[in-house]
Structure 1
């Protein structure tokens, strides 16, 4: 792999650069470090940065051998995240956010869409598993059905009270421990 030219190249003249891009011998991007929200590269197409989820911040983007984005790391002033991707959508997101003395950290595992769909046709993928801790509300684990609806929730609230809830498809609690 070689570093690409232009503004992505490490500067030998002492000039600051906004990004650093590594491409393979075929010219395909394999890694990008950028101080601004970069475009998305997938299936030989480049999508504008405005279509990328996430805040303005520092981005480290990982691409497969075909140049398709497969995950990344984002660091912003009040949040940071790591994501790993399916063929055409996010698969796992791990994130932390904070403001003053309050914060949260969590992980979302998303359902996998039809991998043959181009990314502009991929419907919103539901969260299948959500794990969350907040400094003021406690810790939660939700196991969701194929529509993204919580069906089992495990929780320890901000006062350290544990609970387990089983929900029906309409979100109504059908069983709870402690009762």
Structure 2
């Protein structure tokens, strides 16, 4: 992803796949200066023709619930490196994406993102974050699934130091443990309005 990583922003992408039997080369192929074959992407399909792995140099569409979600709705750089893996039904279940200033790994629930591990950098500034999302009703179609709150956030950044936030079912921080950029530690317990109830020190 090209935007800076924050405590509320998860990077989207894809990873490895299950064993498969058919490889579909990309439509556009060429040769480099050494005469070696160059591809923009390739797809691995199982013996039923279902996508199990996609490697692409362009932002691909999302396959989930038997539907194709346009590439424009996927987070990530238009010309990044994508490695998407799919389950035995052909539905996307996670992956890896890498761009010039960020990279991420993600795993999915049936109809929503579950976990994201991401990093971003620009000059001397950088950040790394791990996000755990709440699981939605698995019976809900993906296009009707509302955004799920982040329940756990583990973030390090050059600006803020290290922060662990445990959030409630509405995504509100309730316990925050941190060691800031000046090495000052703190623990805060918050109410549902964000007011501090207890703190250390």
Using the size of structure 2 for normalisation, the TM-score is 0.84
Partners of 1:168 and 1:10 in 2: how far apart? 59
Query: 1:122 — aligned with what?
Result: 145
Among 10, 24, 33, the alignment partner of 1:4 is 24
Kindly indicate whether residue 118 of structure 2 is the aligned counterpart of residue 98 of structure 1. Answer: no
Kindly report which structure 2 residues correspond to 1:139-158, keeping only aligned pairs within 5 A, or say none.
139-158=162-181
Q: What is the match of residue 75 of structure 2? A: 53
Alpha-carbon spacing, 1:145–1:38, altered in 2? closer, same or farther (3 Å): same
Question: How many pairs align?
Answer: 177
Q: Using CA pairs under 8 Å that are at least 6 residues apart, name the structure with larger relative contact order, 1 or 2.
A: 2
SS across alignment from 1:71:
strand
Whole-angstrom CA distance in 2 between matches of 1:110 and 1:10 = 41
Write the distance in 1 (CA, Å) between the matches of 2:28 and 2:93. Answer: 20
Q: Which residue of 2 aligns with 1:161?
A: 184
Structure 2 distance, partners of 1:143, 1:82, is 21
* Matching of residue 31 in structure 1 with residue 53 in structure 2: yes
**Structure 2: gaps of 5 or more residues:** 1-20
CA distance in 2, matches of 1:125, 1:70: 16
2:132 & 2:197 partners in 1: Cα distance? Answer: 25
Structure 1: distance between partners of 2:28 and 2:143: 27
Q: Secondary structure at the match of 2:27?
A: helix
Residue deviations 1:55-108 (CA, integer Å, cap 9, x gap): 331100010000000001000010000000000110000000000000000100
Structure 1, residues 136-156: CA drift from partner, whole Å, max 9, x if none?
320000000000000000000
1:111 to 122, 131, 134: 134
